[in-house]
Amino acid sequence: MTRTIDTAKLKELDGSVFQYNRSNHPAPLWDDSLIRRHDLTGPRYTSYPTAPQFSDDFTEQNWQSAMMRSNAKGNPLSLYVHIPFCDTVCYYCGCNKIITADKKRAEPYLNALQTEIDMQAAWVDTRRPLLQLHLGGGTPTYISDDQLKALIRKIQQHFHWQSDDSGEYSIEIHPQTVTPERLGFLRELGFNRLSLGVQDFNPRVQRAVNRFNSEQEVKDLIIAARHYQYKAISLDLIYGLPHQTCDSFATTLDQVIALRPDRLSLFNYAHMPELFKVQKQIDAQTLPEPQDKLTMLHDSIIQLTRAGYIYIGMDHFALPDDELAILQKQGALHRNFQGYATHGNCDLMAFGVSAINALDNTFAQNHKAIAPYIAAINSQQLPIHRGLTLSDDDLLRKAVINQLICHFTLDYATIEKKFSIHFASYFAPELETLKHLADDHLLDMQAYGFTVKATGRLLIRRICMVFDRYLQANINGSRYSRII
């Protein structure tokens, strides 16, 4: 049975909690008709321009030039390392992954990965501090303790690791594949943040997507993580999975809230089996109706804000004392390929298949398949497959989109000073389009800039899309999931 949202009744019941949580950070205000009208397909804006705009013409020489400019500026570094292996397949997954129970298959890749680190590091000014590190996948904990140790030692060999534990060093974890004791080992290696992929605690949903982790397993890991003094624990959930209902997902969220993670990510499942073949294992008839998905999101926002979580934006929530919430309040939050970030002044170096570098004014992405990735490294070439050198227009629009997606407000004078433009003239067509969104009460336009209203915060991607030159021109005809 499909549940409908009685917005007026919910406002009456929730009072100020519906619009503001207890820390006085604005939370999104739900308007069902506006969401239906503006729930288009569009990018997630972990970068601008987005990956479909990358070109095969980008070369290793372009990367080397970008690295030299990056060294000259001397910004701190952020590293991303991609470990694509998993023991079993999760049917909802759209990540770059390799499913195998044969752990020996990882050895040639890990050898190539260490060689790539050597090759890239040879160009880096080693005085630049390493402020961020993230191991993603796949399942990074698929590899053994010895392999993980060797990988981290290789990174420490080349980069200025913060030995005082001030760096933000994180790793993604499948809860069922890691013991509490192993968290102690990871902490000794230097990791101080964890991201646990929970998705849903309901057994029926877990069977439908072939992803299993019990509430007790996750609880034991969180207890251990607190014991080992990890600085931040994040849990990932997905709404819109097969057999989920509004009530069942609310139960999962209650269980998660009781565990009190520092951060939560609430992702929308996009069923696109034509792009991700593994999703063909999911029976589309068991997926919740679009209206039920919206209700899940709506109810989840109320649950989380009532529990004291801050709505950071997009899919992310955090406790008031978490760095994401603090930096957003200070106007210093940033966004990169891993989502919201606390260190926005870093240049990003990335290693492994499909990994994307963001150096100076360039993006450079590695080969997506292991065979060409290893072949390039064996030929003493960086495994760059494609990339992009950002134009002045790209950099300007990137700054506008990042400001909106992180802080929901835009001051024209700040952009004008940084880029030497007259905002109203440069973005005249975009401002005309924004007037229609303002008429729908998504934002409040003033002569000096505009602020996204509570009704527009859930639709921030829709607002950002106005400034996306490639999207407006439909360059490359890219396919995206819905923005909510």
Give the domain CATH number at 181: 3.80.30.20
First to last CA, the chain: 21
pLDDT (0 to 100) of residue 211: 95
Q: Which of 36-45, 206-215, 258-267, 332-341 has the lowest mean pLDDT?
A: 36-45
Q: 3-state class of 385 per DSSP?
A: strand
Domain end residue (candidates: 295, 327, 348): 348
Shared domain for 200 and 272, answered yes or no, is yes
Shared domain for 84 and 131, answered yes or no, is yes
Q: Cα(140)–Cα(452) distance, rounded to whole angstroms? A: 37
Tokens of 79: 């590293």
Shared domain for 57 and 197, answered yes or no, is yes
Instruction: Tally the domains of the chain.
Output: 2
Shared domain for 35 and 105, answered yes or no, is no
| Residue 268: domain span | 51-348
Q: Would residue 299 count as lying in a domain?
A: yes
Q: Cα(224)–Cα(362) distance, rounded to whole angstroms? A: 40
Shared domain for 66 and 25, answered yes or no, is no
Tokens of 482: 């819905």
Q: 3-state class of 313 per DSSP?
A: strand
pLDDT (0 to 100) of residue 482: 75
Shared domain for 70 and 32, answered yes or no, is no
Please, which pLDDT band fits residue 37 given cuts at 50, 70 and 90? confident
pLDDT (0 to 100) of residue 25: 58
Tokens of 347: 């240049």
Task: Please provide the average confidence, as pLDDT, over all residues in the chain.
Answer: 91
More confident residue, 405 or 37: 405
DSSP secondary structure code for residue 459 in this structure:
G
Shared domain for 409 and 340, answered yes or no, is no
Assessment of whether the complete model's pTM goes beyond 0.85 = yes
**Does residue 104 have a pLDDT over 50?**
yes
Q: 3-state class of 474 per DSSP?
A: coil
Contact by Cβ (8 Å): 450, 409: yes
Shared domain for 62 and 104, answered yes or no, is yes
